Amino acid sequence: MTRLGPPLAVLLLGLPVLIGLLGTILPAFGILPALGGVTPSLAPLEQLLAMPGVWRSAALSFWIGLASGAGSLFVVMLFVAGWSGTHTFKRLQRTIAPLLSVPHAAAAFGFAFLIAPSGFLARLLSPELTGWTAPPNVLIPNDSWGLSMIAGLMLKEIPFLLLITLAALPQVEAQRGRAVVAALGFGRTAGFLLALWPAIYRQIRLGIFAVLAFSSSVVDVAAILGPTLPPTLAPRLLQWITDPDLTLRFAAAAGALLQLGVTLGVLLVWIGLEQGGAFLRDRVATSGRRFRHDRAVRIVAAAGLAASAGAVFLGLLTLAIWSIAGLWTFPDLLPQSLTLRGWESVLPRLSNPLLTTLIVAASATLLAVALAVLCLANEDRRGRPAGRAALWMIYLPLIIPQPAFLFGLQLAFVSVDLQATLAALVFVHLVFVLPYVFLSLSDPWRSLDRRYEQVARGLGRSRRRAFWTVRMPLLLRALLTAAAIGFAVSVGQYLPTVLIGAGRLTTVTTEAVALASGGNRRVIGVWTFVQMILPFVGFLVATLVPALVFRRFRAVRV
Amino acid sequence: MELKLDQVAIALDGHTLVSLTEVVVPGSVLTVMGPSGSGKSTLLAYVGGFLDPSFQAAGRVWINGRDVTDLPAEERRAGILFQDPLLFPHMTVEGNLLFGLAPHVRGRDARRHAVDVALDQFELGGLGNRDPATLSGGQKARVALARVLLSAPHALLLDEPFSKLDAPLRRAMRDLVFAEARARNLPVLLVTHDQADADAAGGTLLRIGA
Amino acid sequence: MFKALALAAALFGATAGAATAADPDPRNWDGVVAEARGQKVFFNAWGGAENINAYLQWAAGELKRRFDIELVHVKLEDTATAVATVLAEKTAGRTEGGSVDLVWINGENFAAMKDADLLLGNAWAEQLPNFALADTENKPTIRTDFTVPVEGQESPWGMAKLVFFHDSARTAAGSLPTSSAALLDWARSHPGRFTYPQPPDFIGSSFLKQVLIERVEDPAVLSKPADPATFNEVTAPLWSFLDELNPLLWRGGQAFAQNYPAMKQLLADNEVDIIFAFNPSEAQSAIAAGELPDTVRSFTFPEGTLGNTHFVAIPFNAAAKAGSMVTANFLLSPEAQARKQDPTYWGDPTVLALDKLTPEDRARFEAIDLGPATLKPDELGPALDEPHPSWMDAVEAEWTRRYGAGN
């Protein structure tokens, strides 16, 4: 049974990516028989390059992907280096963890409502401090350099990178390592960066690649916070693929290849930066300098982290207020009146998208957990963990930019008449849910003392019994956490849902993002509130159930 | 009941770690000593039936006159004690013992009774309903021993079982384990790097590695 | 292999023919209603406005109750998506059981679908029982959609006319522009206080057309398809106007509102002073919804603004044609039209002729309070005809080339 795990997972992760890439590459070179394209040509490429501002869009995607990834890593790296092992660290870590469950779109909406010239921050300071009675005429968000989009992406990337870094910390024996470098006289931050960070970095490297790929090809955050004249590449691709002019599909396919190139470019430049960073690190490490005075750096790092968490929380609060706001004119800090009109208008239409969201997220999560368990159990059977190649495989759907293979995958689903079916939607969500579930489950799985099962076997219990009566209960919390993460990932999926659901299957996320380009703030407030509450409930369940089931057993309660 | 190792040889990447033929008669102890990494725990895993597939092993293992080499771990009736008590943290003390108690004791009442007797015998009376995490080190060790003995093993495998106990407790536990094994006529395979363990065990001493 | 393909194609063709033969005939209305029972109608309609979504939710409830039809609102950001879907299905040989049953449509999308033979023909719309009540005499756009003859391939649903809104608490009525030329002057003296939705947004493109109609030398050329040879010359006045206007806009023309609701929010936030919509009672609805202050009022250009009709159409391969016809007929009924015109619900002007209605039905309309923010029908000014749809495409493309790709 467990033998089926790895091949199934490889099939599930690799096949859609391969088919999707093929379905993108062929039309990009003019091959799409359904639209009369039968001979290879460079016409789609020419069509793409004739699009106004396409290079600027590509450059924006490149810059935003690189800058948000680098910025997030910078904050996380300095924070972990400067603070790990302290009380502040534990406190902030606890605050950050729930942020992982906030879908990108909700965080981006909240951030937009916060920083807009008419947003909550401006209202907080106006008119008393600023003298503004009308919002200042400055281009935020949607600024042409994508700075608000970069900041919005960082809000979500920082918690993600922080959590994978935390997972890597025990493996490098950070506690003892820190003592050693301190004994050698190094400042906390520098000592950590020089001695411990390289090993951590190796562990989280693929995660960083995933972040870079995501932020250079994201659609929903770009639609909410990104530049509009022109937008980044990915949202333009989505525009073309849904254009009534079907010939634009060729341009979209060629554009998807350009997107692939942009993302690969970001990764290549990143690898170059890694080399530069390593060179610099070695120079500094051997120079004999100890960098004992790092107070300022530490404070800046903690402030950066706290600000990012604060922005998300304050943004979500703003959303929540908007969802019940009556007339709320600038510069009033609070609405003149409260009304449930937004909720009343959304509630009757909430049930279908909500149901789809729940069904798809629950099915994809369940399947992903089952598959991850099969793969990990198979590791146990074979007696060695999956190798580097398997790890790359798991990260594949996260590193190949979504438009590059989802366009082709959509074509494939259309051609077998499966588009807009629940099964297809679950399948495509599974492709993105499985990696996160696997990554989240594998550490606790591998670190569970295998002798527990050996004892059970020695007591005469079969492998299967030992698995169900010992390993599964002991991993209950890890399983539920992995499931909660998978659930949150599924709820947050935008592009796959839009393309495969084809507007006929909508989720709370597609409903919310559909309002991105300037829907009613009250209604956006309602949708995003629902969107963020779902994953939150998932994490609540993952915390409460083990606490309840094992309330009598100290060692497994939390 | 006896434990027979017939030309057992274990290798890793073509390099032989252990190679031996021994018979452990009922109630006696075969002590295997060696530095860490010498393969002594690997030998135990081979006898117990959960050798990591990355090792290559040959030779037959007989327990109580039965060739168990090709049997899965759960059918070998080889009880094992590790250096950690490894009580299942999601079960009460009683739950742990009931989990271990051999299947031939049937019926709710009979099984509870057997566990109660064991609790008293190992000076654990009144602790049945406790969370294992709340027990003292000595209590945990005794629960682990009671659990393995309740499973009615035909041989006992000890993987440095006393090394984490403090000195007085270690002596008491050692005496208790060996006394129980002798009383039940169990052959014991002990791997350790503590000479005192070997001395207390009597029986054959085998040094491997280095 | 090739034989198999040919066979499959032949089979497809055969079933497609059969489907066409079995299209419901609205002249036998009872038959259509009977066939519609139990059908599920996927209505592809722009989903960006909550009051419209809520209206459709109400319609769905009524259709379920009266006709046992399940109306599913497929919310689109852009009607073009539905056009693309149907076109893709036709290309893929899916000539029946299509995924779009009914689509909210007009103008360029209608022209595109009609051109590509993607719509149910046989003038079904003119045979709907309620079509007899439509005001075809005084509202010529019911039969001519953006200069394209409708020919019963879409059923009228509502009327649209470009009107402007301002907040009377901030902007005095006397200072408001009365033409696009005056608007430019106004923008000069109020920099940063006006914007228009970024084309190809429908409202934004409509603004461009309004300016084009006002400034073009010979408006007659706009009723014919755009000719690439003369396009630049004809539209030059529009671009010189925008070259001047754009830097005077909100955010200096570095960004545009993305659609009408965004523009409405900007008025509420005191970021702009003048906005415009295609629905005369939109401001009143927004006041009722607490989205705009109750001091907002409407105005229009005395020389006229764009006016048109919007419709619902049935794709040629719709799976639930009978259900779609019953839905279209229901949307055209006096009851549904009156509710639609009420700004409490939506405020979209009716396509019906009040003098063709029964006294009871007429009373429904007369009972509607349009509110102080809505212009009376006789205050709306003349309606300017929409240009041929090809102008919209060409103007949008040129706008994007000039202003849509950054500087």
What's the pLDDT tens digit per position in A8-48? 888 888 899 999 999 999 999 998 877 778 889 999 999 99
Q: Do A339 and C269 touch (CB under 8 A)?
A: no
Q: Architecture of domain C2-159+309-369 in CATH?
A: 3-Layer(aba) Sandwich (3.40)
Write out residues 36-75 of A within 8 Å (CB-CB) of C: 36, 52-53, 56
pLDDT at site C6: 31
The two three-digit tokens of residue C351, written as one number: 């396509």
User: Distance, in angstroms, between B151 CA and closest chain A CA?
Assistant: 5
Provide the pLDDT confidence category of residue A1 given band limits of 50, 70 and 90. Answer: low
C44 shares contact with chain A (CB less than 8 Å):
yes
Q: List the domain range (segments joined by +) for residue A258.
A: 54-340
Of A53, A246, A325, the CB nearest to C87: A246
Contacts of A112 in chain C (CB under 8 A): none
Helical residues (DSSP H) of C104-227, grouped into ranges:
107-115, 180-189, 202-215
Q: Is residue C254 less than 8 Å (CB to CB) from chain A?
A: yes
pLDDT > 80? residue A366: yes
Q: Which helix (H) or strand (E) holds C105?
A: strand C102-105
- Give the A-side interface with B, CB within 8 Å: 381-384, 449, 451-452, 454-463, 465-466, 469-470, 473-474, 476, 550, 552-556
Give the HSE-up count for residue A35: Cα atoms under 13 Å, Cβ half-sphere: 20
How high is the pLDDT of residue A244? 65
Question: Which residue from A36, A244, A349 is facing C84, i.e. has the nearest CB?
Answer: A244
Residues in A touching C277 (Cβ below 8 Å): none
Interface test with C, best of A336, A517, A523 (most C CBs within 10 A): A517
Chain segment A279-322, per-residue pLDDT in tens: 998 888 877 778 888 889 999 999 999 999 999 999 999 999 99
The pLDDT assigned to C17 comes to 33
3-state SS, residue A339 = coil
* Candidates A381, A384, A554; nearest CB to B131: A554
Touching subunits of A (3+ CB pairs, under 8 Å) are: B, C
Q: How far is B19 from chain A (nearest CA, A)?
A: 22
pLDDT on residue C18: 35
Q: How far is CA C371 from CA B154, C344, C367, in A?
A: 93, 10, 12
Task: Inform me whether the C-beta atom of residue C404 falls under 8 Å from chain A C-beta atoms.
Answer: yes
Task: Please answer yes or no on whether B74 and A554 come within 8 Å at the CB atom.
Answer: no
- Chain A positions touching C73 (Cβ under 8 A) are 349
d(CA A386, CA A376): 9
- pLDDT above 70: percentage of residues in chain A: 99
For residue A518, the model assigns a pLDDT of: 64
| pLDDT on residue C15 | 34
Nearest to B176 by CA among B134, B127, B118: B118
Round to whole Å and give the CA distance between A486 and A70. 25
Q: Is the pLDDT of residue A245 over 90?
A: no
pLDDT bucket at A424, cuts 50 / 70 / 90 = very high
Contact yes or no for B42/A432 (Cβ under 8 A): no
Do C2-159+309-369 and C161-307+384-403 agree at the fold level? yes
Contact A300, A78 (CB under 8 A): yes
Q: How many whole angstroms separate alpha carbon B42 and alpha carbon B52?
A: 8
The β-bridge relationship of strands C274-277 and C163-167 is: antiparallel
**Over the stretch A497-511, which tens digit does the pLDDT of each residue have?**
999 988 789 999 998
Interface touch C265/A521, C-beta < 8 Å? yes
Residue closest to A365 by CA, chosen among A446, A477, A479, A478: A479
pTM: 0.83
Chain C, residues 202-221, CB within 8 A of chain A, namely none
| A473 contacts B90? CB cut-off 8 A | yes
ipTM above 0.95, yes or no: no
B and A adjacent (3 or more CB pairs under 8 angstroms)? yes
**pLDDT at residue number C21:** 45
d(CA C226, CA C392): 9
- H helix runs in C246-387, sequence order: 260-268, 282-288, 321-331, 334-341, 359-366
Please, do chains C and B touch (3+ CB pairs < 8 Å)?
A: no
Question: Comparing C-alpha atoms, which of C204, C166, C183, C170 is closest to residue C301?
Answer: C183
- Contact present, A487 and A535 (Cβ < 8 Å): yes
Counts of helices then strands in chain B (DSSP H, E): 6, 9
- Cβ atoms of residues A221 and A231 within 8 Å: no
Predicted local confidence at residue B13, as pLDDT:
87
Beta-carbon separation of A514 and C48 below 8 A:
yes
Beta strands C148-149; C144-145: pairing state: antiparallel
Q: What is the C-alpha R_g of chain A?
A: 24
pLDDT at A205: 93
Q: Considering only A164-168, A232-236, A282-286, C128-132, which range has the smallest mean pLDDT? A: A282-286
CB C212 within 8 A of CB C398: no
Per the CB < 8 A criterion, the answer to whether A212 and A161 are in contact is no
Lowest mean pLDDT among A388-392, A470-474, A483-487, C205-209: A388-392
**Residue A526 is assigned to a structural domain of this protein:** no
Q: Where are the domains of chain C?
A: 2-159+309-369, 161-307+384-403
Band (A342; pLDDT cuts 50, 70, 90): confident
As a whole-number percent, the residues of chain A with pLDDT over 90 amount to 55
Query: pLDDT of A426-462, one tens digit each?
Result: 999 999 999 999 988 988 898 899 899 989 998 989 9
**CB contact burial A261-292 (16+ within 10 A = b; e otherwise):** ebbbbbbeebeeeeeeeeeeeeeebeeeeebe
Residues A208 and C138: their CA atoms lie apart, in Å, by: 64
Q: Does C47 touch chain A (CB under 8 A)?
A: yes
d(CA A460, CA B101): 9
Q: Which of B150, B184, B122, B128 is nearest to A455 (CA)?
A: B150
| CA dist list (Å): A420 to A35, A496, C85, C202 | 21, 11, 12, 27
Backbone angles phi, psi at C62, to 5 degrees: -65, -40
Q: Give, in order, the Cα–Cα distances in Å from A59 to each of A53, A65, A143, A149, C202.
A: 10, 10, 15, 14, 28
Cβ distance A329 to C73 less than 8 Å, yes or no, reads no
Task: Kindly determine whether residue C112 and residue A515, on different chains, have CB atoms separated by under 8 Å.
Answer: no
With beta carbons under 8 A apart, name residues in chain A contacting B93. Answer: none
Kindly state whether residue A40 falls inside one of the protein's structural domains. Answer: no
Q: Does C228 touch chain A (CB under 8 A)?
A: no
Interface test with B, best of A2, A454, A551 (most B CBs within 10 A): A454
Asked if the model's pLDDT at residue A552 lies above 90, the reply is no
Is B133 close to A553, i.e. CB distance below 8 A? Answer: yes
Residue A112 lies inside a defined structural domain of this protein: yes
Domain count, chain A: 1
Q: Which CATH architecture has domain C161-307+384-403?
A: 3-Layer(aba) Sandwich (3.40)
Check C78 against A242: CB less than 8 A apart.
yes
The CA distance from C388 to C225, in Å, is: 6
How many helices and strands (H and E) does chain A possess? Answer: 26, 0
- Encoded tokens for C339: 């509710």
Q: What mean pLDDT is reported for chain A? A: 89
Pull the structure tokens for residue C404: 């849509």
pLDDT by 10s per residue, chain C, length 407: 223 333 233 323 333 333 344 789 999 999 999 999 999 999 999 887 778 988 999 999 999 999 999 999 988 877 888 888 888 788 778 888 999 999 999 988 999 899 889 999 889 999 999 999 999 998 889 999 999 999 999 999 999 999 999 999 999 989 999 999 999 999 999 999 999 999 988 899 999 999 999 999 999 999 999 999 999 999 999 999 999 999 999 999 988 998 898 899 999 999 999 999 999 989 998 898 888 999 999 999 999 999 999 999 999 999 999 999 999 999 999 999 999 999 888 989 999 999 999 999 999 999 998 889 999 877 888 889 899 999 998 999 999 999 987 54
Query: Amino acid identity of A171?
Result: Q
Q: How far is CA C9 from CA C14, C91, C391, in A?
A: 9, 13, 38
Facing residue for C251 by CB, picked from A137, A230, A346: A137
The confidence band for B210, taking pLDDT boundaries of 50, 70 and 90, is: low
Contact B88 A555 (CB under 8 A): no
Substitution target from B52, B81, B90 for chain A, most A beta carbons within 10 A: B90
Buried b (16+ CB within 10 A) or exposed e, A486-523: bbbbbbbbbbbbbbbbbbbbbbbbbbbbbbbbbbbbbb
Rounded to the nearest angstrom, the minimum Cα separation between C303 and chain A is 31
Instruction: Pick the more confident residue, B53 or B94.
Output: B94
**Reported confidence tier of residue B182, pLDDT bands at 50, 70, 90:** very high
Residues 6+ apart with CB under 8 A from C265: A518, A520, A521, C291
Q: Which residue of A has its CA nearest to B157?
A: A458
Mean pLDDT within A94-116: 89
Could you tell me the CATH number of the domain that includes residue A82? 1.10.3720.10
